[in-house]
Structure 1
């Protein structure tokens, strides 16, 4: 957040005067060129506003994003200053996170899920498995490899299908390996080969396959970037309530049940 504040403000005010009052229902945000001046300066610097809402203390809240990251702005009652950051209640409750989840993160993840369904992925597991998990996988990524090892019990039990969106971002031969997997006659077996030989360098690159399929990997790279993701694995899944969640980086052991949709088989 500190880096984001440096990007946006010179300097910004601290979100210090916090209230315990609940947020009211959101209202539709104004068009991107009709905000109060204090807010407009941030829009001009790259902030995209999703919606506005009434906030405690007579302030107006704005939920938005910058470079794929959710951001909250609070316009003071006199409309002369804007505060960037998190609002806490007198009890220390985070009042900003639920609003960002409702107005920014949730809709972003819903849109991302639809894009992932149409992406170039390799299915790992039974096609009839009821739980679908999407993950961006670099063939050279050690954390992707560990995630796959951790997910094995659910995949082997036929409970989860892990859909690998193959990208090439970590090493010079990441893209050729990803293209070799995507373009092989049996991508599932090629993915399995890369997993089984990961410690020895993974799958052997086929230059002809790479030539024919490099653009498919590049498209996945672009999708990953457009979603504001910078680490592999980056994983999308549905929680127990059916809400789409995203985990960037390797999941911790305690997070696996939520991602895989249930207890370890």
Structure 2
């Protein structure tokens, strides 16, 4: 991100906004803190991009669209390394500021626009990628909730999530779909291959998780097919912006894809999914 400057400054209270600060990137389930400040709407990009935005794109940013911002600001939805962020340009200026737009009460006011243009499409693409790869499914096919989770065989937090999900799976309300990755070590790749190549992968995964503290499943040399699949899963993980395991995805009551980072307890999982 060389040559990209982040600015923090105050605008006059009577003039424009409040504070334009560094971005609070990709809040997990966030909406605007000030829900009453929703005068702006997502709009399609028509004219050519301003030079300042073009420069950002040339330096590795991805442009996703524009949105209306308060006063004389135009918002530009961007991402860098799969992290959403916004840039703002005044209609009377050629300069761009990257950051979170704050109103005089200190509330972020453009987060929903940024999510609609960047975060939601990214997560839908991740969900689609999960649906179209090979995963290991635990639980009933008619379960009311489906959760995809990126699982590394050597990840203790993945093991904790596996254990904490048992009550919901046994209750019949959760189907947990493991997308295996081998990102922690070469041993992870070999153990993931051992699970994938077993004649009953669900049973192999269960045995591994139950024996996790004793080393789990015996690693094998991955076949070409397993190597290709695990490379594909690593790519999905990168494109999703997931930085660790387990990272899990589910659909909320509105049907939007949401993300859970790390292991959560059984009670937390119930609360997140909205099940008794």
TM-score by length of 2: 0.85
| 1:61 corresponds to | 75
Given the alignment, which residue of 41, 46, 68 partners 1:25?
41
The within-5 A match list for 1:1-265 is 7=1, 9-14=3-8, 16-17=10-11, 18=17, 22-30=38-46, 34-207=48-221, 210=223, 212-251=225-264, 255-263=268-276
Which secondary structure does the structure 2 equivalent of 1:57 belong to?
A: coil
Distance 1:63 1:254, change over 3 A: farther
CA contact under 8 A between 1:15 and 1:84: conserved in structure 2?
no
Distance 1:136 1:260, change over 3 A: same
Distance 1:105 1:91, change over 3 A: same
Q: Distance in 2 between matches of 1:81 and 1:221?
A: 37
Deviation at 1:82, TM superposition (A): 0.5
Distance 1:73 1:150, change over 3 A: same
RMSD of aligned alpha carbons: 2.1
Q: Cα deviations across residues 92-139 of structure 1 (Å, max 9, x unaligned)? A: 221132111111111211121111111111001222222110000000
Q: Distance in 2 between matches of 1:212 and 1:48?
A: 32
Which secondary structure does the structure 2 equivalent of 1:70 belong to?
A: strand
Which secondary structure does the structure 1 equivalent of 2:101 belong to?
A: coil
Unaligned runs of 5+ in 2: 12-16, 19-33
Distance 1:255 1:82, change over 3 A: farther
| 1:3 corresponds to | none
Q: Distance in 1 between matches of 2:141 and 2:150?
A: 19
Question: Aligned pair count?
Answer: 254
Unaligned runs of 5+ in 1: 1-6
Deviation at 1:186, TM superposition (A): 0.2
Which secondary structure does the structure 2 equivalent of 1:87 belong to?
A: strand
Which secondary structure does the structure 1 equivalent of 2:102 belong to?
A: coil
**Bigger proportion of residues as helix:** 1
CA contact under 8 A between 1:15 and 1:87: conserved in structure 2?
no
Which secondary structure does the structure 1 equivalent of 2:49 belong to?
A: coil
